[in-house]
Structure 1
Amino acid sequence: MNSSLITFYEAIERASADMLEAARAGNWDHVIKLEGACVLLISQLKNAARNNALSAEESQLKSRIMKRVLVNDAEIRHLAEPWLEDIDDMMNGRRKTIH
């Protein structure tokens, strides 16, 4: 069993859950910081995966982990939509009007 690769997947899942928690709290600076940590973990995983393969059991575990990461990512994106629209408006000089 190649637990080192699974450890990377588990760390990515933890970071993704932390990103979701920060997004739910509206702490977008922390979301961005955690996203950077995820990018680093993914890079390390890619390097480690070059020389190692997962067993069938590990592949199933990886699939379950990645499904949870994708669910977290989808919710983060949903929460980010209004925030991204606000930034787009600010960058394009548009102001929000309150009626």
Structure 2
Amino acid sequence: MNAQLISYYEAIEQASADMLQCARAGNWDEVVKLEGACALLISQLKHAATDQTLSADEAPLKARIMQRILVNDAEIRALAEPWLDELGRWVAPGNSSVH
């Protein structure tokens, strides 16, 4: 078993769960910080994956982890939509409340 690659997937999953928790609490600054950490982990995973591969036994575990990450991401996006819409209205040209 390639524990290092799996540990990257697990760390990305944990970061996505933390992002979801912050999004649910409306702490968007922390979501952005965690998104940066997630991007770094993904970059590290890509680099590590050039030298290592997962075994056939690890594929189902990776698939389960990726599924949980995708579910978290979908919920974060759903929670972010109203916030992004509000931000868009706030910075829109001609918005008289931004004087």
Instruction: Tell me if TM exceeds 0.5.
Output: yes
Task: Assess, with a 3 A threshold, how the Cα gap between structure 1 residues 46 and 26 changes in structure 2: closer, same or farther.
Answer: same
Q: CA offset at residue 65 of structure 1?
A: 0.1
Question: When the two structures are superposed, what TM-score results if normalisation uses the length of structure 1?
Answer: 0.93
- Secondary structure at 1:56's aligned position in 2? coil
Question: Aligned runs of 1:1-99 on 2, under 5 Å?
Answer: 1-93=1-93, 94=95
Match of 1:83, as an amino acid?
W
Gaps of 5+ in 2: none
The runs of at least 4 consecutive aligned structure 1 residues that moved more than 2 Å come to 93-96
Identity of aligned residues (%): 65
What number of residue pairs does the alignment pair up?
96
Unaligned residue ranges in structure 1 (runs of 5+): none
What CA distance in whole angstroms lies between the structure 1 residues aligned with 2:53 and 2:12?
18
TM-score, L = length of structure 2: 0.93
Instruction: For residue 95 of structure 1, report the CA deviation from its aligned partner.
Output: 6.5
